[in-house]
Every structure is written in structure tokens, then in C-alpha cells.
């Protein structure tokens, strides 16, 4: 659906003694451009995405190059270069991208490639496939001109060595801004940092919506673990006639709910982006409790969404999720609405 609309029609009116032809001029109306992304590092990503849009780029261009800013930033511990390793000390990256034409591309568990979102776009544009994994994704990238990179940094190696010494316990995800470790007792509900993937949704002047998502996943994860980020319908989803959504947080919980697809589907059924995000969060909470065996309930999941009218929304399981919004010449960081109060004690069923 294109929101760069035009209006135009003509009508013949025949009377007994004369003939009239009425014409209405065609009027073009450009859609207001908008970019929304997850977390504090979304501010810098938005800036790049807006630059792309202002220079005539499409929403697909914007969401690719926007999240690349996070992929290139060694201070973002859960995306791209500098992302924390898995249990074997290997940095494996996942990414996906989708546009308003239902074209999709994704990479899973790819190593030594700094910008997996761009490999995902290449899959979208140059192949009949939708996803490549592991060595196949790496070989495809190298064949198409990508250069191999060392993704470890001095900081990520240090943290991995500390984990191997038993200082940090089980697998966990870390917040970009604060390297906090999950411990038993006395932990603030958001201090585990389980919410750092960058997802982005953008709408361009033609009303076309695209989304992207990229991550290095859970720190110290079992090698080969995949969360929601590269899974179309979980980490992101776009319907060109409805809108787009992306997620962040513990990927397993979002996959269980087909979260981003659910957000878009609820918008298709008439919900606003805000209502749809809240609905999806409640579904995540419900399914987490239902699948209580081997699950803990101390986690975070958040959604962002935009519809074809340019309306947006965001919601999360608990307090603490922030999203970056670039619209109307401003680029701001805002706390989302949340469903479970931080003081609420969650017990197993």
C-alpha cells in the first residue's frame, strides 16, 4: 500500500442542450517519514536511517544502514562487532530484514561477518531463498564481496574469560549501557539486561514500511542457539497494507508467541500500534507462564510498531524498555508502557 496518495477523476454530464466535463486535479501527498528502533543505541541508528530517507532512500535502505551503526559499535555488547561470545567463545550473529513487498532475507549463526543485516538484504535481493545459516551464510557473504572480520574485542574476551572462571553463572543477555550480572536475590527486575537486540521499523515518503533486526544473541549461549531476531514473524514482520513491527528481549519468549507477526495481525484487525503491542506482550506473558517447566519468569520482551497511517506504538513486559523515535525533525528516547509492575512477584505455576 502506498500512502503517497493521489486523487483524480473525471465525469461526463449530459444535458439536452449542452455537454459538461468535470475534472478534478491530481494531488500528491507525501507521507511523513518516521523511524522507530529499540533501546538507547537506537538514537544513533535512527540518525543514520533519517539521513538515508532524507537523501531519497527507501525504508529498506534506512533500516539496513540504520542498524549497521549498532553492528559497528563495539560498545553495544549484544550486536555485531564486540558482541559477547557463546559458550565456546565464538561470536555468532543473526539478522533479518523485510520490506513492504513481503521480500525477506535472514542469516543465522554467521561468524566473522561484521554486518549480517547487509548479508540478509543480499539474500533478499539476489536469491530465491529467505535464509542462510552458519558456514553457508559465511560463504555466501565472502563470495559476494564481504570481508572476514575478527568480531572479538579486548573487552568481550575479558568478559568471556571471567565467565569461564565461573563468575557469572548461566547464559544471559546483557544491557548495552550497564554490564550487570544476574545473581540470586536482591536483583532489580531489569538488571539482568535481557533486552538488547536492535530492531528498527521505518516508513518512507511513499508510505512504504520496512523492518530489520540484528543481534549477537544471548551471552554464553549454547553454540548454535537462535533466538527471535532472524525469524520472520518473531523478531520482525511487515505487511505492506497494514504496518510493521520488531521485537527485543529474550528471544525464546517472542518466538513462542510469534510476537511481531501477532502485532501486525492485530493492527490488520483494527487495533492501533499501541494496542497491538500491548496485546502481543500479554500473549508473551501468558505463554511464558503456560510453558513454566525449565522456564524462569524474570525476563524482558518489548515490541515496537508502525502502521501505514504513520501511527506508532511500543510496549514491554516490564518497566525499563526504551525506544528511539525519529519523527517531525526530532529524535527522542522514550520509556514504553509496560504490563507487569516491577514490584510484582512472579511465581511458578
**Per-residue cell: 198:** 536492535
Q: How many domains does one find in the chain?
A: 1
Its sign, for the CA torsion 206, 278, 172, 109, is: negative
Whether the Cβ atoms of residue 208 and residue 5 lie closer than 8 Å to each other: no
Res 86: pLDDT: 94
Phi and psi at residue 210, to the nearest 5°: -135, 160
Total residue length of the chain: 349
Do residues 284 and 263 touch, judged by C-beta distance below 8 A? no
Question: Which residue has 514491554 as its cell numbers?
Answer: 316
Q: What is the pLDDT of residue 170?
A: 57
The count of other CB atoms within 10 Å of the CB of residue 4 is 13
**SS3 assignment for 185-248:** CCCCCCCCCCCCCEEEEEECCCCCEEEEEEECCCECCCCCCCCCCCCECCCEEEECCCEEEEEE
Q: What is residue 166's predicted lDDT score, i.e. its pLDDT? A: 78
Average pLDDT, the chain: 86
CATH number of the domain bearing residue 267: 3.60.20.30
Nearest to 325 by CA among 197, 194, 200, 190: 200
What's the confidence (pLDDT) of residue 229?
A: 96
Is residue 155 assigned to a domain?
yes
Task: Indicate left, alpha or beta for 266 from its phi (over 0: left) and psi (-120 to 50: alpha).
Answer: alpha
Residue 19 is assigned to a structural domain of this protein: no
pLDDT digits (tens), the chain, 349 positions:
445 544 444 455 455 555 555 555 555 567 899 999 999 999 999 999 999 999 999 999 999 999 999 999 999 989 999 999 999 999 999 999 999 999 999 999 999 999 999 999 999 999 999 999 999 999 999 999 999 999 999 999 999 998 888 766 555 544 333 333 343 333 333 343 334 789 999 999 999 999 999 999 988 999 999 999 999 999 999 999 999 999 999 999 999 999 999 999 999 999 999 999 999 999 999 999 888 766 667 788 999 999 999 999 999 999 989 999 999 999 999 999 999 985 434 333 2
| Residue 181, phi-psi category: left (phi > 0), alpha (psi -120 to 50), beta (remainder) | beta
**Within a domain: 1:** no
Examine residue 347 and state whether it is found in any structural domain, yes or no: no
Domain that holds residue 144: 26-340
Cell numbers 565467565 label which residue?
A: 163
Q: How far apart are CA 207 and CA 51, in angstroms?
A: 17
Instruction: State whether residue 271 is helix, strand or coil.
Output: coil
Report d(CA 213, CA 248) in Å as an integer.
9
> What pLDDT is attached to residue 297?
73
Residue 3, domain member (yes or no)? no
CA 323/CA 151 separation, integer angstroms: 26
**DSSP secondary structure letter of residue 298:** -
Assess if residue 310 is contained within a domain.
yes
Catalytic residues: 197
Amino acid at each position: 500500500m502506498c500512502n503517497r496518495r493521489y486523487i483524480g477523476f473525471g465525469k461526463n454530464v449530459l444535458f439536452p442542450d449542452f455537454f459538461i466535463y468535470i475534472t478534478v486535479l491530481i494531488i500528491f501527498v507525501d507521507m511523513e517519514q518516521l523511524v522507530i528502533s529499540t533501546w538507547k543505541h537506537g538514537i544513533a541508528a535512527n540518525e543514520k536511517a533519517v539521513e538515508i530517507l532524507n537523501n531519497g532512500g527507501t525504508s529498506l535502505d534506512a533500516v539496513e544502514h540504520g542498524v549497521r551503526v549498532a553492528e559497528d559499535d563495539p560498545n553495544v555488547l549484544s550486536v555485531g562487532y564486540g558482541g559477547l561470545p557463546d559458550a565456546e567463545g565464538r561470536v555468532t550473529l543473526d539478522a533479518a530484514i523485510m520490506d513492504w513487498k513481503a521480500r525477506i532475507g535472514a542469516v543465522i549463526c554467521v561468524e566473522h561477518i561484521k554486518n549480517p543485516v547487509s548479508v540478509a538484504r543480499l539474500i533478499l535481493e539476489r536469491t530465491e531463498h529467505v535464509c542462510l545459516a552458519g558456514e553457508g551464510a559465511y560463504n555466501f557473504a565472502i563470495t559476494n564481496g564481504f570481508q572476514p572480520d575478527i568480531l572479538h574485542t579486548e573487552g568481550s574476551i575479558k568478559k568471556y574469560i571471567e565467565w569461564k572462571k565461573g563468575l557469572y553463572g548461566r547464559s544471559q543477555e546483557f544491557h548495552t549501557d550497564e554490564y550487570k550480572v544476574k545473581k540470586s536475590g536482591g536483583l532489580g527486575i531489569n538488571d539482568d539486561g535481557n533486552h538488547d537486540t536492535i530492531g528498527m521499523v521505518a516508513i518512507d515518503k511513499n508510505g512504504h514500511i520496512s523492518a530489520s533486526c540484528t543481534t549477537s544473541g544471548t551471552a554464553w549461549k549454547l553454540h548454535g542457539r537462535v533466538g527471535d531476531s532472524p525469524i520472520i514473524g518473531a523478531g520482525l514482520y511487515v505487511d505492506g497494507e497494514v504496518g510493521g513491527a520488531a521485537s527485543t528481549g529474550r528471544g525464546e519468549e517472542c518466538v513462542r508467541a510469534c510476537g511481531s507477526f501477532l502485532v501486525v495481525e492485530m493492527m490488520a484487525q483494527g487495533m492501533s500500534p499501541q494496542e497491538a503491542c500491548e496485546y502481543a506482550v500479554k500473549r508473551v506473558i501468558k505463554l511464558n507462564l503456560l510453558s513454566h517447566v525449565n522456564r524462569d519468569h524474570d525476563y524482558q520482551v518489548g515490541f515496537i510498531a508502525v502502521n501505514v497511517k504513520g501511527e506508532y506504538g511500543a510496549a514491554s513486559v516490564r518497566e525499563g524498555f526504551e525506544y528511539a523515535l525519529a519523527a517531525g525533525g526530532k529524535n527522542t528516547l522514550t520509556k514504553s508502557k509496560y504490563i507487569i509492575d516491577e514490584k510484582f512477584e512472579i511465581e511458578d505455576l
